[in-house]
Structures are given as structure tokens and as C-alpha cells.
Structure 1
């Protein structure tokens, strides 16, 4: 398996098919629009390749909050179905761990849907623990990807 970090809009746009595993209804225009807003804020993607086939992808970005100081966030974590339970997720979290240490952040954070018990178990096994609740108030449901 090869790991490749993506930092340009063009590289990321080529991954829309894989992003559809998470957000099946996302259009190319919406994906492009959101990436154009995210990339200037340190957003990157990590791709796991098996030859020419994409085995997994995750986004990540560095930020700063008053309560945590500098942190890294994992976003849009996808392992393609045929590669699940083969260590691809661990490859990605190990890479993010190393990148977070390189960036000298205090912690790595992520969101997982409440009903996604498979993801919860995976993240627990990688050393992540829940710290609180992520509350939201939807103002425009048409803009929500999932």
C-alpha cells in the first residue's frame, strides 16, 4: 500500500467517487465548492493506494481552539468496502498520528455519527475517547451533505 498526501484542488476532485461512499448525493460542483473553502484553512487529504485502486481516504487539518490549543482534526474518513478489515484505517490513523506529532499539536479530534458503532469501536481501538457531545442546530438542511 502506498500513502499519498493530497494538497491541491485538482488532486482532491479526482477522489469524488470515493467520497460518495460517505456522501452519495454530493455533486461535483458542491465538492469543488466546499474544497475551495477548506483548502485555504489547511485542509489536506491522505490517500491509500493499492496500485491504481484507492483503498481509503481521509481529510485532515490543523486548527487552534482556546480550550485545546493547536489540534489536528480528522474529517471524511473512508475505507472502500472491499478493503475494510484489512488494516487500511490503521494505516491512515498512524499517518495522522505522525503528522500531528510533526505539527506539535495537543490532540487529534474527530466526529463519528452516533449510530456508527463500527467506527466507535475502531476509534476506541486506536486510542480515541469521547470527550463530549457535538451539538448542532441545522439552519439549512439543503446544505448538509449527509
Structure 2
């Protein structure tokens, strides 16, 4: 297997929609995700991907900002690796690549949200050195 990590071209962003659709257990339609990604690509957002040769197998959105409490910060979002590739250290390698990429861009911290029910991700992020800082709240308007 030959894995490649890279930032996907903004014009090719819709290629990640099927993976994000799986992440959300098809609760958000393809059409809605496609519309949202078309808006996201014009914001302070980049999308990192993993290829196994030419097959897209992983995705991680990256939101860039400056926060008063953590400085120049990046927030990984909608992290998903195809089930067939899990448990092989690929997530660790992907995040190592992400850390190096964002450090080269001058960012000093990484913070993220993960679903409460996604216990495997909690273990992964604790092993990566993340600490719980607070709660994430959302209100639909």
C-alpha cells in the first residue's frame, strides 16, 4: 500500500463528500453536504486527504483561525478514514502529517470537537496528547 497525504484542490472538494456522508451515517444528504462544502471552500478552510494509490480513503477538514486563549490555531473537522484502513496506524501518521503541515504555516495549536458517543475517537485523541478543555454546545436556529 502506498499512502499519500495532501491538501485537496478546492475545485475537487466534492470528492470528499461520500466519506463525510459515511461519517454522518447518511443523516445529512449528499446534496446538502455538497452545498455546504461549496461554501466552506471559500472560507478559512482547507481539506487534507489520504490516498491509497489513486483511491481516496481518508479526509480531515482544517479550519484556521486565531483564538485569544490558544493563539494561531487549527481545528481538524470531519475526520474519517475508511473502515478497511483503521487500526493500522494510518490515523496517527495522518495527524503527524497534519501537525507538520500546520506548523510550517505558522500555527501553534490544534483543537477539535468529537461526538460524545464516538469513544474510539476519544481514545485516539487522548493518545495524541489532546486534553478536554470544555464542552461544545450547539443551538439550531
TM-score strictly above 0.5: yes
User: What TM-score does the superposition give when structure 1 sets the normalisation length?
Assistant: 0.85
Does the 8 Å CA contact 2:17/2:34 hold for their aligned counterparts? Answer: no
Return 5+ residue gaps in structure 1 as ranges: 140-146
2:49 counterpart of 1:47: yes
SS of match in other structure, 1:105: coil
For each residue in 1:113-146, what CA deviation from the matched residue of structure 2 results, as whole angstroms up to 9, or x when unmatched?
111110000011111111111122233xxxxxxx
Superposed counterparts of 1:13-28, under 5 Å: 13-23=14-24, 24-28=26-30
Task: Tell me how far 1:77 sits from its aligned partner.
Answer: 0.1
**Shift in CA distance, 80/61, structure 1 to aligned 2, threshold 3 Å:** same
Q: Which residue of 2 aligns with 1:143?
A: none
Distance across 1 between alignment mates of 2:44 and 2:9: 9
Does the 8 Å CA contact 1:7/1:39 hold for their aligned counterparts? Answer: no
Q: Which residue of 2 aligns with 1:82?
A: 84
Task: Tell me how far 1:36 sits from its aligned partner.
Answer: 2.5
Does the 8 Å CA contact 2:62/2:74 hold for their aligned counterparts? Answer: yes
**Shift in CA distance, 49/107, structure 1 to aligned 2, threshold 3 Å:** same
| Coordinate RMSD, CA, aligned | 1.6
User: What TM-score does the superposition give when structure 2 sets the normalisation length?
Assistant: 0.88
Q: How many residues were matched structurally?
A: 138
